[in-house]
Amino acid sequence: MEIIVLVKQVPDVALNIKVKEGEIVEEGLSYVISSWDETALEAALQITEDVGGEVTLLTVGPDKAAESLRKGLAMGAHKAIHVKYDQAGETDSYAFAKILQKALEGRNYDLILTGRQSQDTDSGLTAPMLAEFLGLPQVTNIIRFSDVSEKNITLYRKGDHGTEVVDMVMPGLVTVNDSLNEPRLASMRGIMMAKKKPLEEIDLDSIGITSEMSGIQGSMTQVLQFEKPESRKEGQIFEGDEADTVTQAVDLMVGEAKFLT
């Protein structure tokens, strides 16, 4: 089984994110693999451990993104492809999907696995767009899989009204929900081995991506600026015996916030 895992390097959103003058403040950001992509990688590793095969990481990003590829290799991926790209900030999901399409054309794979959305954009657009461009079936937001063979996989998708059980013929594209698994940590040995694993670097030219197809020009949408989320007003904290604090709080909620009225 040949599995491609799409990984995007993103700022760690668990840390403080500051917005200033319409931009995300770069200082203090720390970069990680988008956590849903790590879940996808874990799933890919489990599948190949089970039925054999190889896991290839694919990223489109700046030089720095190689760190995330090394991390994925240390977790157990077999090789990695780095499409060198400096215009990530002004690129939308549509243009990323086009670049990923070109990077994948002519390659051999059974399954593309990736996160349901990336941690920085929270868009969830790139993967299904890529599936459309490659003419592949897609199953999004899976929380479980079973019966993996060379030809088929059964996927359990978390839908709006319950879990949808879907059989997919390969090749196909699958996006994962974080409930699917708990990604492994890289071992010391894994980190050592990662240094020797193949990491292929590709430039846009070589896959036929012109300047009209990348950056602002290749994008259909554009972020004009970043804003701070609306801040919530300071709350009231009650400490003490629950019988008193709850009663006090309910009194206020009724008076101030029209609770139960």
List 41, 57, 139, 202, residue binding other proteins (CB under 8 A): 139
* 140 touches ligand AMP by CB under 6 A: no
Smallest distance, ligand AMP to C-beta of residue 2, A: 17
Owner of token pair 């599948």: 47
* 121 touches ligand FAD by CB under 6 A: no
Residue closer to ligand FAD by CB (options 54, 178) is 178
Q: How far apart are CA 109 and CA 113, in angstroms?
A: 11
List 48, 56, 117, 219, residue binding ligand AMP (CB under 6 A): 117
Smallest distance, ligand AMP to C-beta of residue 213, A: 14
Peptide bond into 171 cis (omega under 30): yes
Residue closer to ligand AMP by CB (options 59, 177) is 59
* Parallel, antiparallel or unpaired: strands 163-169 and 152-158: antiparallel
* 159 touches other proteins by CB under 8 A: yes
Residue 222 CA: distances (Å) to CA of 89, 215, 218 = 10, 10, 10
Quick note: the x/- pattern for ligand FAD over 22-41, rule CB under 6 A, is: -------------xx-----
Residue 88 CA: distances (Å) to CA of 82, 91, 92, 120, 222 = 13, 5, 8, 11, 12
Quick note: the x/- pattern for other proteins over 213-252, rule CB under 8 A, is: ---x--xxxxxxxxxxx--xx-xxxxxxxxx-xxx-xx-x
Burial of 135 (0-12, 13-18, 19+ CB in 10 A): exposed
Residues in 161-180 at the binding interface with ligand FAD, rule: CB under 6 A: 178
Helix (H, G, I), strand (E, B) or coil at 192: helix
Residues that bind ligand FAD (CB under 6 A): 35-36, 178
